[in-house]
Amino acid sequence: MKLFFSSQQMAHQPKQYMINGRITDPLENPARAQALIKALTELGLSEGATGDAGLNPILAVHADHYVEFLRTAYDRFMQLPNHGPEVLPNVSAYQGAGQDYAARPKPRPVGVLGQAGWYINGLSCAMTESTYLSAYASAQTAISAADALLRGEKAAFALCRPPGHHAYADRAAGFCYFNNAAIIAQHLRQQHERVAIIDFDTHHGDGTQAIFYTRDDVFFGSTHTDPSNYYPHYSGYADETGAGKGLGANLNLPLAEGSGDDAFIEANRRLVAAVADHGATALVISAGWDAHHQDPLSKLAVTTQAYGEIGALWGAVGLPTVIVQEGGYSLSAVSEAAPSFMTTYQANRAR
């Protein structure tokens, strides 16, 4: 299997992240990608060629005014008096999405501060001079992996960073700027009438859910920590099942704090069944390793072995699949969990 990556993704290295009222070093950093490259290369994945498909596949999912904000925000922010080292919002907009999660219009403020509050959801998405290009490269990494599928490859791994599943059509959130999984699900639609995205990162893939909430051609299923006391707080509940045409094409399986391997594996089993029910002919897996009990953000008790169990489940599905890297913040845990998953994934896929 091919491993897609772009070294441009490493340039994004913000210095500030606020958690629980304290500014600290971001947990999402280049060392994660280095650990994953090492672990996956040792498994025998070979490097795929990451190309540049331009902005069109990104604009098929993201609002053009949001992309323009990301492209220009750093330079504009650096014109502010007494500015800090990175773009961070001072304010947050009251206006949220409606019950259908439709993307919002272009905001009225023309200044970068008002726009930052509109487009960036919190203090986990500091933007440096390199952020736009790294997020762009992360999206291109995913697109190149999807293009390999469109050329007939059965599966590919897109080592994306920054990650994507919290990014909305018009909003950066939770270390994410462009929604890599959503971009390639849309990209795969050119050959596939129905595509499924499943997400076993320990945080709900709220951005992905929002992007496809009213559509039935792209199924979204996620298992994650119960959001009633966990990021992303405002979505990921079991009663969010889609709207309009998309009713029934969204499935959330929240897990109670402290849940272990059995609950995590059973939820993945239910997601496998839901993908089959939907009739998808291509699959995108948003793979995060942060449910692992050693992860600094984890409230679950999932072990390395469980990732091997779910790797077997997803491998046996047999659909053309892109595995997209999302979260996972313990270097030792990602170095165990990702290869555990990929070993059984590949073994069961080959059958």
**Residue 263, token pair as written in the block:** 């609950």
Q: What is the DSSP letter of 228?
A: G
107, 114 contact by CB (below 8 A): yes
x/- mask, Zn ion, residues 25-64, rule CB under 5 A, reads: ----------------------------------------
- Is residue 227 reached through a cis peptide bond, with omega within 30 degrees of 0 on the bond before it? no
Distances (CA, A) of 92 to 6, 74, 121: 32, 18, 7
Of positions 62, 203, 204, 278, contacts Zn ion by CB under 5 A: 203
Q: Is 201 near Zn ion (CB under 5 A)?
A: yes
The angle at the Cα of 201, spanning 200 to 204, to the nearest 5 degrees, equals: 95
Q: How far is the CB of 337 from Zn ion (least distance, A)?
A: 12
Q: Which of helix, strand or coil describes residue 290?
A: coil
x/- mask, Zn ion, residues 285-314, rule CB under 5 A, reads: ---x-x------------------------
Site for Zn ion in 89-118 (CB under 5 A): none
x/- mask, Zn ion, residues 237-276, rule CB under 5 A, reads: ----------------------------------------
Q: How many residues bind Zn ion (CB under 5 A)?
A: 5
Cα 237 → chain centroid = 18
Q: Which of helix, strand or coil describes residue 331?
A: helix
CA distance 168 to 292: 25
Of positions 164, 227, 246, 327, contacts Zn ion by CB under 5 A: 327
Residue in 166, 187, 204, 224 annotated catalytic: 166
CA distance 220 to 192: 15
Query: Could you confirm whether 166 is annotated as catalytic?
Result: yes
Q: Is 147 near Zn ion (CB under 5 A)?
A: no
Q: How far is the CB of 285 from Zn ion (least distance, A)?
A: 14
57/227 with CB nearer Zn ion: 227
User: What are the residue numbers of the active site?
Assistant: 166
Interface residue list for Zn ion (CB under 5 A): 201, 203, 288, 290, 327
